[in-house]
């Protein structure tokens, strides 16, 4: 299993509010986290950095959670290979909730940080199984040969509109509210988290985790074309180079976890954007940046 990651400030941002971390326990037990911060000035930077740091601590070392109602504390162990599937799910969800609470407390320390938050994607791959914890509009894709699947579903205003049949998926890409998210780590004292599992991480598969600074610029088919025409060790660089060439209006972060050989296919030619694909960010306190 190979893991590569890269983050870029983009063409126009003054700071990078994305953050990511990766780790491995064995060749078949790999984890990664991607966070896209939001909330004025340095708030997004602090939220995303705190979240990835806290999540790494919980996954690797465990943590102690206090139950205020019962005045008891519960010790959660860090990851070990003997963990059952249910224990691993609990570990990822506890990691998110611990990070959420720490960011939430920090945001109450000053008016400058109030309301800060971040999207969160955790992926844990064990053998052919992928376990995800997800909140926000950062995304995780799974590609295998001629197929690509978006494993996560955006928690956003425009996704709700799409689900309700008010706009199409194509209209959502250029909607003025496309950056408004409905779930973010650290904004409230508790966070609803999606847990997703798939057993499809087979030989030849590639998992891509990214902030919306990347996904905003590509269709699923375009992502798959890049994956299938780029060597694994160059995928993160190629994704970001293409996003920058298409505008790079936002911070861009990508993690690639691959279960395929590092083949060297033909050089990739940039896929030119359609003229109608305007990529203008509108920064608000509730935007993912």
pLDDT at 280 over 70: no
In this structure, what token pair is assigned to residue 230? 């780029």
Read off the pLDDT of residues 240-279 as tens digits, 9 standing for 90 and up.
999 999 999 999 999 999 999 876 454 444 444 444 343 3
Q: What is the pLDDT of residue 26?
A: 97
Look at residues 129, 153, 179, 210 and name the one whose alpha carbon lies nearest to residue 281. Answer: 179
Residue 202 exposure: Cα atoms within 13 Å on the Cβ side: 5
Computed over every residue of the chain, the mean pLDDT equals 89
* Residue 103, phi then psi, degrees to nearest 5: -65, -40
In a domain, 68, yes or no: yes
Rounded to whole angstroms, the Cα distance separating 260 from 203 reads 6
pTM, full prediction: 0.89
In a domain, 182, yes or no: yes
Q: 41: pLDDT confidence band, cut at 50, 70 and 90? A: low
In a domain, 268, yes or no: no
In a domain, 6, yes or no: yes
Q: What is the pLDDT of residue 170?
A: 82
Q: 187: pLDDT confidence band, cut at 50, 70 and 90? A: very high
What domain range is 244 assigned to? 2-258
Rounded to whole angstroms, the Cα distance separating 283 from 10 reads 15
Q: How many domains does the chain have?
A: 1
In a domain, 125, yes or no: yes
Q: Which residues contact 84 (CB under 8 A, 6 or more apart)?
A: none
**Domain of 69: which CATH number?**
3.60.40.10
In a domain, 156, yes or no: yes
Answer whether 5's CB lies under 8 Å from 236's CB: yes
Residue position matching structure tokens 């579903």? 153
In a domain, 272, yes or no: no
In this structure, what token pair is assigned to residue 251? 């911070």
In a domain, 284, yes or no: no
Q: 70: pLDDT confidence band, cut at 50, 70 and 90? A: low
């Amino acid at each position: 299993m190979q893991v590569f990651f890269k983050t870029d400030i983009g063409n126009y941002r003054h700071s990078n509010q994305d953050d990511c971390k990766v780790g491995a326990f064995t060749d078949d037990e790999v984890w990664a986290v991607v966070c896209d911060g939001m909330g004025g000035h340095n708030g997004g930077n602090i939220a995303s950095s705190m979240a990835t740091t806290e999540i790494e601590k919980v996954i690797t070392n465990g943590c102690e959670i206090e139950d205020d109602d019962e005045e008891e504390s519960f010790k959660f162990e860090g990851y070990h290979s003997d963990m059952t599937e249910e224990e691993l799910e609990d570990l990822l969800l506890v990691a998110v909730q611990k990070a959420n609470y720490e960011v939430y407390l920090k945001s109450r320390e000053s008016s400058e940080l109030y309301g800060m938050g971040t999207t969160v994607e955790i992926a844990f791959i064990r053998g052919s199984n992928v376990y995800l914890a997800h909140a926000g509009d950062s995304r995780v894709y799974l590609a295998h040969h001629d197929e690509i699947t978006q494993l996560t579903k955006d928690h956003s205003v425009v996704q709700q509109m799409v689900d309700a049949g008010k706009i199409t998926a194509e209209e959502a890409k250029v909607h003025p509210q496309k950056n408004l998210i409905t779930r973010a780590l650290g904004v409230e004292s508790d966070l609803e988290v999606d847990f997703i599992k798939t057993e499809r991480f087979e030989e030849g598969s590639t998992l891509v985790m990214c902030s919306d600074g990347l996904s905003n610029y590509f269709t699923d088919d375009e992502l798959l074309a890049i994956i299938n025409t780029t060597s694994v060790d160059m995928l993160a660089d190629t994704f970001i180079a293409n996003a920058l060439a298409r505008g790079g209006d936002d911070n861009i972060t990508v993690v690639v976890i691959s279960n395929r050989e590092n083949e060297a296919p033909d050089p990739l030619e940039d896929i030119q954007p359609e003229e109608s694909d305007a990529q203008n960010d509108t920064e608000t306190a509730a935007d993912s940046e």
